[in-house]
Structure formats: C-alpha cells, structure tokens
C-alpha cells in the first residue's frame, strides 16, 4: 500500500474518535452560535484555543516515549514562562524585543525540560514523581516572583493573540514534520512501544527519552508564550490549570499513555475537540457546575468509546 495512505489510515484509526467528535462539535457550534463561529471570527477562535493546543502538543513527546513517561509540569512551566517574560524581562528589565523574549522562553523551556529529562532518565526517578517535583517548584517560584497578576504584555505579543497565533502553531507542526523525517522519530516510537526490545536492538534508550523531555520543555515554552499573548498579562494562577486538561486532550487524541502510539497532530485534535466542547457548553449558558459534569462525562465517554473502537479493530485483525 502507498505509505502515505497507510500512515493516513493509521492516523484516522488513532485519532478517529476525536476527529469525529471534533466535526460533530464544530457542526453543533456552528448551528447554535453562528456569530461566534463565523469564518471571520476563526482567527480569534484559534487564538483562544492556541494555549490549550500548545499544552497538549507539548505533553505528547514524553508520553510517546513510554514506560510511564509523562510531564505534569507542562502547565506550571507555561505559567513560569508567562511570569518571567512579563514580570522579570518586560516590566523589570524593560526588554520588549521579540528577538530576546522568544529565545528566552524557548531557553527556559529547554532548561526545565532538560532538568525533567535528567531526573526521569539519568537519575531514573519515576516520571510522574520527578515532574510532580518540578510542578511544585515552578508553581511555588512563580507565585513568589509574581504574587498577583500584572500587565500589560508587549504590543507585538498581544497582537499574536488573534489570527496570528497560527504562526507559532504552524512553527510547532513544521518542527514536528521535520522530526518525523529523522531517524530519531523511529527510535522514539520504538522506545515507546517496547524499550527492552529497542535497547537490545541498540537504540540509545536514555538519550532518546532525554531528548523527548527537552522537546516537551521547548514546546511548553512556546505554549507559555501563546498563553501570554492570549491573556495579555502575567497571571500566576492560570498556568497550572492546563496540565490535566492537556493530558486529557492528548489521550482523547489517540496518544496511548502507555507510549509508542499516536502523534502531535492527534494531540492537537484532542485539544481542539475539548476547546469546542468548552465553547459549546458555554454557549448553552449553563452554570459552571453543569459544565464540569458534562466535561468529565464527555471525557470518560470519549476514552471509553475510543477503547471500544480499538477493541473492535483488534477483533477484526485477529479474525
């Protein structure tokens, strides 16, 4: 079979449910709220969804690397980048040039990612514990340097909130497209599916996993910038709320938490589905409590349906 069609087929099977959910939610949203979902408003919508997409995409590489790989510090890292960029660099040091702020955000992401990677792969602390430590440290430090929300953000960064937020998202996917073309991608998926087999086949398991953590950190840095663009200020309390939702989005998008299955596009689709769900429920003007129930219920229903679909597919194969 044509490799393009085959990988497309694999993709649809993996993220299939999220994709269906996404289309349905988009249609319902369009019907119920045509003004908000008018094509002219799509730019704004993408801007609103960008931080969640960024957080989900950032969470994916370490999950792909397998053996309990997970980074729960993604949310606080976004908040930390937000705080450093606005409070320390822009307001206190007076630096507003994107040529400094963007590399600074990426560097912070890479350093935190490398620290997580060092703990999870070299020290071999269980990833959820290592990143829990980072979570607590980053959230605590963020609150210490930024006890209350401050603003504003530099004008160029605020301008990135609308249609232009497609630029960082596009950059992320271009980067991922390039990674997929390298041998590293195959090694990552091999390590994620069966690290013992990969190790005996000569794959440098530790190095591959370490790089995955650095990638997650860098992507979380970008997500932190997108969050900063959206809120146009610095807020110490928003970042950490992204962690669990991002992991839910990743899982919804067909990335197996056991590793080795799925990709960044699936994660993004899961995130968009969750974002559409949020807007739909908000459009109904229901109380936040109903929102939360529906939110949890659809999350569970989505993973259950995905699992049933997988089981069905497996049965088809064994027959």
Partner 1 sequence: MNALRSWLATTNGRIAAAFLVALLLHLIGTTLIPGYSSPFAIRAILVLAALLAVASVGQTLTVIIGGIDLSIPFVIGFANVVAAQLYGQGWNFVLVCTLVGLLAIVIGGLNGLISRGLNIHPLIVTLGVGMIVQGLVLLWTKGFPSGSAPPAVSAFVSIGGSVGPLPVPWLVPSVAVMTALIVLVLARTPYGRRLYALGSNPGAAPLALIDPLKMWVVTYAASAFFAAVAGVLLLGFTGSAYGDVGQPYLFQTIAAVVVGGAALVGGRGSYLGTIAGVLVLTEINTLLIGLGFKPAAVQAALGLIIVVLVSLYGRERHVSQTI
Binding site for partner 1 (CB under 8 A): 67-68, 70, 119, 123-126, 128-130, 132-144, 147, 195-196, 199-200, 205-206, 244, 247-248, 251, 257-258, 287-297, 299-300, 303-304, 307-308, 311
Residue 79: burial class (beta carbons within 10 Å; 0-12, 13-18, 19+): buried
Q: Least distance from C-beta 85 to partner 1, angstroms? A: 19
For the record, the structure tokens of 179 come out as: 């990674």
Q: Which is nearer to partner 1, 32 or 136 (CB)?
A: 136
Q: Which is nearer to partner 1, 162 or 240 (CB)?
A: 240
Please measure the distance between the N-terminal and C-terminal CA atoms of the chain and give it in whole angstroms. 21
Work out the angle at residue 171's Cα, subtended by the Cα atoms of residues 166 and 172, and round it to the nearest 5 degrees.
Answer: 100
Q: Which is nearer to partner 1, 165 or 216 (CB)?
A: 216
Q: Which is nearer to partner 1, 215 or 248 (CB)?
A: 248
Q: Least distance from C-beta 278 to partner 1, angstroms? A: 13
Q: Least distance from C-beta 113 to partner 1, angstroms? A: 15
Q: Answer yes or no: are the C-beta atoms of 232 and 92 closer than 8 Å.
A: no
Q: Least distance from C-beta 87 to partner 1, angstroms? A: 14
Q: Least distance from C-beta 139 to partner 1, angstroms? A: 6
Q: Which is nearer to partner 1, 41 or 303 (CB)?
A: 303
Q: Answer yes or no: are the C-beta atoms of 209 and 94 closer than 8 Å.
A: no
Q: Which is nearer to partner 1, 136 or 171 (CB)?
A: 136
Length, in residues, of the chain: 319
Rounded-to-10 torsion of CA 265, 126, 83, 161: 10
Rounded to whole angstroms, how far apart are CA atoms 68 and 61?
12
Q: Which is nearer to partner 1, 64 or 70 (CB)?
A: 70
Residue 102: burial class (beta carbons within 10 Å; 0-12, 13-18, 19+): middle
Q: Least distance from C-beta 141 to partner 1, angstroms? A: 5
282-289 contacts at long range (C-beta below 8 A, 24 or more positions apart): 283/29, 283/32, 283/33, 283/36, 284/32
Comparing C-alpha atoms, which of 78, 85, 93, 193 is closest to residue 134? 78
Q: Least distance from C-beta 24 to partner 1, angstroms? A: 19
Rounded to whole angstroms, how far apart are CA atoms 267 and 248?
9
Q: Which is nearer to partner 1, 28 or 141 (CB)?
A: 141
Q: Residues near 218 by Cβ (< 8 Å), separated by ≥ 6?
A: 106, 109, 110, 113
Comparing C-alpha atoms, which of 158, 132, 307 is closest to residue 231? 158
Q: Least distance from C-beta 271 to partner 1, angstroms? A: 14
């Amino acid at each position: 079979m044509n490799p393009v069609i085959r990988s497309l087929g694999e993709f649809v099977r993996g993220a299939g449910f999220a994709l269906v959910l996404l289309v349905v939610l988009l249609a319902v949203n369009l019907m119920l709220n045509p003004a908000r979902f008018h094509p002219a408003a799509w730019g704004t919508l993408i801007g609103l969804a960008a931080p969640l997409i960024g957080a989900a995409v950032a969470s994916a590489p370490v999950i792909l690397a397998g053996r309990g790989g997970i980074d729960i510090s993604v949310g606080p890292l976004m908040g930390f980048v937000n705080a450093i960029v606005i409070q320390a660099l822009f307001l206190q040091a007076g630096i507003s040039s994107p040529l400094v702020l963007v590399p600074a955000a990426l560097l912070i992401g890479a350093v935190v990612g490398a620290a997580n990677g060092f703990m999870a792969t070299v020290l071999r602390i269980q990833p959820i514990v290592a990143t829990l430590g980072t979570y607590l440290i980053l959230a605590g430090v963020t609150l210490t340097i930024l006890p209350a929300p401050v603003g504003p953000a530099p004008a160029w960064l605020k301008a990135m909130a609308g249609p232009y937020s497609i630029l960082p998202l596009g950059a992320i996917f271009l980067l991922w497209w390039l990674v997929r073309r390298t041998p590293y991608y195959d090694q990552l998926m091999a390590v994620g599916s069966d690290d013992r087999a990969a190790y005996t086949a000569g794959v440098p398991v530790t190095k591959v996993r370490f790089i995955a953590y650095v990638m997650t950190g860098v992507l979380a840095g970008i997500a932190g910038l997108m969050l900063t663009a959206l809120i146009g200020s610095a807020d110490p309390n928003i970042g950490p709320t992204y962690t669990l939702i991002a992991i839910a989005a990743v899982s919804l998008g067909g990335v197996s938490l056991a590793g080795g299955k799925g990709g960044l596009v699936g994660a993004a689709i899961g995130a968009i589905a969750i974002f559409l769900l949020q807007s739909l429920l908000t459009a109904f003007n229901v109380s936040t409590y109903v929102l939360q129930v529906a939110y949890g219920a659809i999350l569970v229903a989505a993973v259950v349906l995905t699992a049933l679909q997988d089981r069905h597919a497996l049965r088809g194969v064994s027959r």
